[in-house]
Amino acid sequence: MSKTQSPHASTTDKAPRVRFAMVLDLSRCVGCHSCSVACKSENEVPLGKFRSWVKVIEKGRYPDVSRQFLPALCNNCDNPICNRNCPVRATYRRPDGIVQVNQHRCIGCMYCMASCPYDVRYINPLRKIIQKCFFCDHRVDHGLAPACVETCLGRARIFGDINDPDSEIAQTLATNPVTTLKPGLGTEPHVFYIAADYDAMDPTSGVDVNHIHFEHPF
């Protein structure tokens, strides 16, 4: 996977280490929100917050109209701004690429939230700490696929080790055109999209920025 060879990633190891990533194949996504709900259930995500959600847009003019979906979650970036900015190193990157938060260390300053260009972090209003998608590391560590991947109706979510050339994800990445969200920011996201729609990826498309409703963090 040359594309994801980040200048920031540790390149000192000789043997390629495990690097978990996710592919979202939107030609298979049906916009069912099963991923979002599976994630809520798996991770006890409180009401009002989402680790994963599915944006749905309609585009075009009658009768040439289509619907596009964009499931979004933490990109578990190779160059995570959230990590760089966390003053207490509560958030850190595991060797396998999963960006984690030390729940006991987090001071809840929300700087990581403000810095993340994808708005995927939230303060858990019940526990008052930062949370986000951790690629279900508790499951992955036990050899189980993440909850959203397991249940995805369209099998649009592919998860695995991109450094294992035999893995489904490595092969999928090798043979399909993929993109990431906001690649220009240099965050090196590790959630890759196949057949994602430009307008769905654009946060301001179809949005009047003057009339948008914002949620207080907690």
Partner 1 sequence: MKFSRRTFLKLGAAGAASFGVSRMLETAPDAMELIMGGDEVSRTTGKHLKPVPSTCLNCYARCGNFGFVAYGALLKIGPNPDHPNSRGRLCAKGQAGLNLVYDPDRLLYPLKRVGHRGEGQWKRISWEEAYTEIAARLQGVLESGHPEEFAFQSDRDITTQDITRRFVHALGSPNALVHHPVGGPNKQVAQQLTWGVDYDIPDVANTEYMLIFGSNPYEAHYMRTSFVQRITEARSLRRVSANLLRTKAKMVTFDVRLTQTSGRSDEWHPIIPGTDAVVALAMCHVILEKGLEDRAFLDAWTNYSPDKLKEHLAEYTPEAAEKISGVPAEEIRRIAQEFATTKPATTISTGGVTKHANGVQSERCVALLNIITGNIDVKGGYCLPKAYNFREPEPVPPVPARKSKLSGFGNYPLAMTELHHMVLPMVKRGHQRIQVYMTYQHNPAYSHPEGWLIEQILKDEDLIPFYVAIDSAMTESAYLADLVLPAPTFVERMELESPAAFEMVPFVSLRQPMIPARGESVPITAMLIELARHLSDDVAKYFDFTADEYLRHQISGIAPLVQAGGLDYLKEHGVFYDKEAEPQYEVFKSTGFNTPSGKIEIYSTKLEEQGFHPLPIYDPISAHKTLRPGELHLVTHQWMVHTHDRTANCMWLSEIIHENPVYINSATAASLNVRSRDRVKVISKVGEIETVAQVVEGIHPQVVAIGDSCGHWQYGRVAQANRFKSQDPNSKLLWWGQEKHGWFAEATGTGNGVHPKPIIPIMSDPIGGGQCWMDTKVRIKKV
Partner 2 sequence: MDQNFVTVLYNSPHQIPLGKLLAQYFYLTGLSAGSFVVSVIAILGGKTEYKPLGKIGAVVAPLCLVLAPMNLLTEMAQPLRAWHLMTYVPGYINLKSPITYGVALLTAYPISAIIYAFFVYTGNMKMSKIFAIIGIPLAISVHGYTGFILALGKGRALWNTALMPTLFIVSAMVSGIALMMLIAIILNVFFSKDKSQEAITADRELIYGLGKFLGGVIVFDLFLILNAVLVLLTSSKEAWHVAELLLWGRFAVDFIGIELILGSLVPLFIVFYPKTARNLKALSFASILVMVGIYAMRYSVVIGGQSVPLH
- Site of interaction with ligand SF4 (CB under 6 A): 29-35, 38-39, 42-43, 51-52, 54, 69, 71, 73-77, 80-82, 86, 88, 90-91, 99, 101, 106-112, 116, 118, 120-121, 130, 132-136, 146-148, 152-154, 156-157, 187
- What are the backbone dihedrals phi and psi of residue 61, each rounded to the nearest 5 degrees, phi first? -120, 140
Of residues 29-68, those binding partner 1 (CB under 8 A): 29-34, 36-38, 40-44, 46-48, 56, 58, 60-63, 65-68
The helix or strand, by DSSP H or E, that contains position 148, with its residue range, turns out to be helix 147-151
Which of 199, 192, 190, 208 minimizes the C-alpha distance to 76?
Answer: 190
CB 119, min distance to ligand SF4, A: 8
Peptide bond into 87 cis (omega under 30): no
Among 9, 102, 110, 154, interactor with partner 1 by CB under 8 A: 154
**Which of partner 2, ligand SF4, partner 1, none sits in contact with 171, Cβ below 5 to 8 A by type?**
partner 1
Tell me how far apart the alpha carbons of residues 27 and 33 are, in angstroms, rounded to a whole number: 15
CB of 85 to partner 2, least distance (A): 5
Neighbours of 10 (CB within 10 A): 10
Site for partner 2 in 165-194 (CB under 8 A): 185, 187
**# chain residues binding partner 2, by CB under 8 A:** 60
Residue identified by tokens 């499951």 is 139
CA 79 to the chain's CA centroid: 13
| Contact flag: residue 47 with partner 2 (CB under 8 A) | no
26 neighbors 69 (Cβ within 8 angstroms): yes
Question: Nearest 5°: CA angle at 86, between 81 and 101?
Answer: 90
The per-residue b/e assignment along 61-70, b for 16 or more CB within 10 angstroms, e otherwise, is eeeeeeebbb
Nearer to ligand SF4, 51 or 64 (CB): 51
Please give the helix or strand (H or E) that residue 92 lies within, else none.
Answer: strand 91-93
135, containing H or E segment: none
Position 207 contacts partner 1 (CB under 8 A): no
Q: Could you say whether residue 96 binds partner 2 (CB under 8 A)?
A: no
Q: Does the footprint of partner 1 cover residue 73 (CB under 8 A)?
A: no
Residue 101 interacting with partner 1 (CB under 8 A): no
Using CB under 8 A, list all residues that contact partner 1. Answer: 25, 27-34, 36-38, 40-44, 46-48, 56, 58, 60-63, 65-69, 125-126, 138-145, 147, 149-156, 158-161, 164, 166-169, 171-172, 174-176, 194-195
